[in-house]
A and B are shown apart, each in its own frame.
Chain A
Amino acid sequence: MNELSLHILDICQNSIQANATLIEILIDEQPASNRFSITIRDNGHGMDEKTLSEVADPFYTTRTTRKVGMGVSLFKMAAEQAGGSFTITSKPNQGTQVVATFAHDHLDRAPLGAIEDTLLILILNEAGIDIRYEHVVNDRTYVFDTRDVKQILNGIPLTDSDVIMWVKNNITEGITSIHKEESL
């Protein structure tokens, strides 16, 4: 996985598997202080302490179809090889939080990549789980929240093609705008 947004998509699959009803994703880019962090939080069924202590082990999984669980360990490696850190915290029946930090300018930090493609797939999740995305660059913030969109849609499904294309454009433009230099 050569984009951080692919890891985000993958980590969120764990949240979906854990029956979360809300997944919150926070990207915080602070080039001036050489920080880049990703936080993913869910309100799913969480893990007990024993599971939590084993989760970053690539040979740990509760899957039955194969013997390795790669998602968490791959993300951890991506952070650690880019001068960063990785923590995962969890409480049974409350939820799980994953925080990965990176040195912003590290040569081995993968780019965020097509986060709009990741979000689109997350938004189309079968269980209708709500997604909140917050992206901060310096002091500028973009927020996308499916709960706001659903409120406007008033029963029209998010899966409607025109809605999906609106969502994708909104996210792409929103993220571009927070990266723009302050115009004079």
Chain B
Amino acid sequence: MKSLEDLKRIRDAAQRKVTMRGKNDFTRILVGMATCGISAGARPVMNKIVEEIAEKDLQNVTVTPVGCIGECAIEPIVEVLEGEKRTTYCRVDVDVAERIINEHIIGGKVVEDNLIGKYRL
């Protein structure tokens, strides 16, 4: 069993790195988690993003479940917030989630195929 001792080690290591982080250059990723989103597959999408952030040790990137984004028909929806900039993706599956991390978050290039503008007329 992953012990509390492990958790304490993680805490101590995190305490050391906290001071090195800038506060203002955060990227937030939001995943729509209303009934429609969950039914369309938002849970594996969000878990994939959590794993990618951890595996690739992406600093200053967080992922948060949110309620309704108002676009039931084209869920799962993922939004990337970088400062003032908001990019909304729809019909995201696990593969697209991985592309968002690799191409957008790491590579700085938007994943055109799933931009919401392509779906909403």
Chain A residues within 8 Å of B, Cβ to Cβ: 1, 6, 9-10, 13, 16-17, 63, 65-66, 69-71, 74, 114, 117-118, 120-122, 124-126, 149, 152-154, 156, 159-166, 169-170, 173-174, 177
Contact = CB atoms under 8 A, between A and B. Distances in A.
Contact of B68 (A63, A121, A161, A170): A63
Given A9-B43, A164-B54, A159 B62 contact: yes
A19 to B, nearest CB: 12
Contact of A162 (B10, B35, B62, B66): B10
Contact of A161 (B4, B38, B57, B70): B57
8 contacts: A6-B38, A10-B38, A13-B33, A13-B67, A69-B35, A152-B11, A162-B54, A166-B2
Contact of A65 (B33, B47, B68): B68
A161 B54 contact: yes
A65 B70 contact: yes
Interface size class of B (residues with CB under 8 A): 35 or more
Nearest to B28: A126
Contacts of A71: 35
A122 B62 CA distance: 14
B50 interface: yes
**What secondary structure prevails in chain A residues at the interface with B?**
helix
Given A156-B14, A162-B10, 12 more contacts: A13-B34, A66-B72, A114-B47, A124-B65, A152-B4, A152-B7, A156-B15, A162-B54, A163-B11, A164-B50, A170-B2, A174-B1
B46 to A, nearest CB: 5
**What secondary structure prevails in chain B residues at the interface with A?**
helix
Given A159-B62, A165-B54, A177 B1 contact: yes
Contact of B35 (A13, A16, A117, A161): A13
A16 B11 contact: no
Contacts of A10: 35, 38
B87 interface: no
A184 B33 CA distance: 44
Interface in B42-67: 43-44, 46-47, 50, 53-54, 57-58, 62-67
A166 B7 contact: yes
B6 interface: yes
A154 B4 CA distance: 13
